[in-house]
Amino acid sequence: MKLDLKKISWGVLILGLVFFGLWAKQAWSPNVDTKKVVTSDKQGQVINTSRSEMIATLVRQERLSAEQAEKKLFPRMTNGVVSLSDPAINTGYAIITATTYAQKAVKDLKIGTIYFYCTTNRSDPLKTIKSIQYASFQPANTKAYEGTVQYLLAGGDTVHYTLNGRLYDRGLVSRSGGKVVAKGDDPVFINYSLIEKTFHYQDVLEHYDIAL
């Protein structure tokens, strides 16, 4: 049986062009998929801390004075209702963090980190969460976030949160909402609004549970 070398050569050439086209489409696609729904780490990080260290962390994260940070973290205590620093009260402190990524084909893209500043039951071996005192979302790489953060204490050791908004290249952001939440309370919303919008970078939609 005689082979038609001319037809075989054309077939090989066409097949090569098809594979090259598929490779080029993948290689030249944008690094940021603005319609991608993002997911976070499988596990959050829990940092057991003290009241003073928690205040210092918020000072660094949001560039506040110590007095401003204390009022945000402990509004009831600074109003003279109760003092959690009282040794008679079995209260510990923990900061729970989770990092959000956009899932990419080659390398995941870091979106930002959410922080939950919590009080815990110090006498409980599992350090059950008593309350979320404050929550904050910090975008990565100087980006600015506009949208909402919804959170609730789903159980004694589980925090549920939803991020729903957009990331922009940069910009000034104002914040409203948010309050202390305990187990059984309704979900709480934080609203982030951009004062001046810039280049739209990434849509963000994430639902997640973090357990101690």
Q: Per DSSP, what are the bridge partners of residue 92?
A: 120
Q: What is the pTM of this model?
A: 0.73
pLDDT for 25-38, tens place per residue? 333 333 333 333 34
Angle between helices 51-62 and 66-73 (to 10 degrees): 110
Report pLDDT for 110: 82
Chain Cα centroid distance, residue 126: 24
Cα-atom radius of gyration of the chain, to the nearest Å?
24
- The candidate with the shortest Cα–Cα distance to 98, out of 167, 149, 146, is 149
Lowest model confidence (mean pLDDT) among 2-6, 18-22, 69-73, 173-177: 18-22
More confident residue, 9 or 128: 128
Please, which pLDDT band fits residue 10 given cuts at 50, 70 and 90? low
Alpha helices in 28-157 (DSSP H): 51-62, 66-73, 75-78
Q: What does the pLDDT average to over 58-67?
A: 93
What pLDDT does 124 receive?
Answer: 64
- Give the per-residue pLDDT at 185: 92
Q: Where is 88: in which H helix or E strand? A: none
Cα separations (Å) of 2 from 6, 8, 10, 143?
12, 12, 17, 65
Q: How confident is the model at residue 149 (pLDDT cuts 50, 70, 90)?
A: very high
In the prediction, which pLDDT does 122 show?
A: 75
- Where do the DSSP E strands lie in the chain? 39-40, 45-49, 91-102, 109-121, 129-139, 144-155, 158-168, 173-177, 181-182, 188-194, 200-211
Tell me how far CA of residue 55 lies from CA of 20, 138, 187, 189, in angstroms: 56, 17, 24, 22
Reported as a single tens digit per residue, the pLDDT across 108-133 is 778 889 999 999 887 665 568 889 99
